[in-house]
Amino acid sequence: MATADSDPEDAITKDEIAGTAPAPPATESGISQGTKRNAFTELMAPKPKPVAPAKELASTRSAHTKSFKDRDGLGAYTDDPASFPPDRVISYNDDFVAINDMYPKSTVHTLLLPRSPLSRLHPFDAFEDRAFLASVQAETTKLRQLVAKELQRRYGRYSASDRAREAVLNGETETGELPRGRDWGLDLLVGVHAHPSMNDLHVHVLAPDMVSACMRHRKHYNSFTTPFLIDVADFPLAADDPRRHPGRAGFLEADLKCWRCGRNFGRGFKQLKEHLDVEFEEWKKQ
């Protein structure tokens, strides 16, 4: 499907698919220039070329296109990443591009885009290729580390676990080495959607807070807080894994539950949003 036509299993809106929805500046919810300074060496490394995919596929997508419209929009980043500003494209090499999501659903929301013909397949099919899967998993781990560094840069000053580290950074304490402090990567959400709305394979790596102006409805939230988001570490999936049939499982229609405390808000999205702001402040203090 190349158009922005509605699909009941889409987790994003038609205007987001078309790229016409209001988008915040990438600097507000992306990897900062300071954090990404060494991204080319820390994040990207040459990867082995993938081999042919499995014959029986769930995918119905065409080969790479140059239109880059609607559901093919992410292809523009893998086709010519150098044409985008540094606040959108984090880093790239011959095999991957890492970007800040145009419509972030958390305070930091990034995407990893493979530059491979296999990226035009549904993740269920593409990740049957073990070499390709291994390369995506390894690169995802590196992007996860970068997102964790960005969260520490932004919120370490509020964290009890980072107090000793912050004291050294602020010149309040003298020590032989900088404490590592809090592991901000522990709570990150990492994975692919069981029903991707965009045609090019992309891995989400984002903060868990779900605080963003682009978090606008229940499907947005449930697409990241239910099994609709599948960790790349879980692939390849078993044939009978219920996540292969997200519509049947009803993930997007599930009750809204706080990611941190588990409180059930039913269908009360406004109430959930207000609660998430409070939980975000408490999470930063951990």
Token output for 220: 């947005």
Token digits of residue 272 = 């959930």
**Count of Cβ atoms closer than 10 Å to residue 257 Cβ:** 17
Task: Classify the phi-psi angles of 266: left when phi > 0, otherwise alpha if psi is within -120 to 50, otherwise beta.
Answer: left
Tokens of 156: 């370490």
Task: Give Cβ neighbours of residue 174 (< 8 Å, ≥ 6 apart).
Answer: 168
The rounded distance, in Å, linking the Cα atoms of 51 and 131 is 7
**Residue whose pair of structure tokens reads 């880059």 in the numeric block:** 68
Q: Show which residues are catalytic.
A: 202
- Those residues whose C-beta lies under 8 Å from the C-beta of residue 39, and which sit 6 or more positions away, are 31, 90, 91, 98, 146
Task: Name the strand (E) or helix (H) holding 270.
Answer: helix 269-285
Distance from C-alpha of 249 to C-alpha of 256, rounded to nearest angstrom: 15
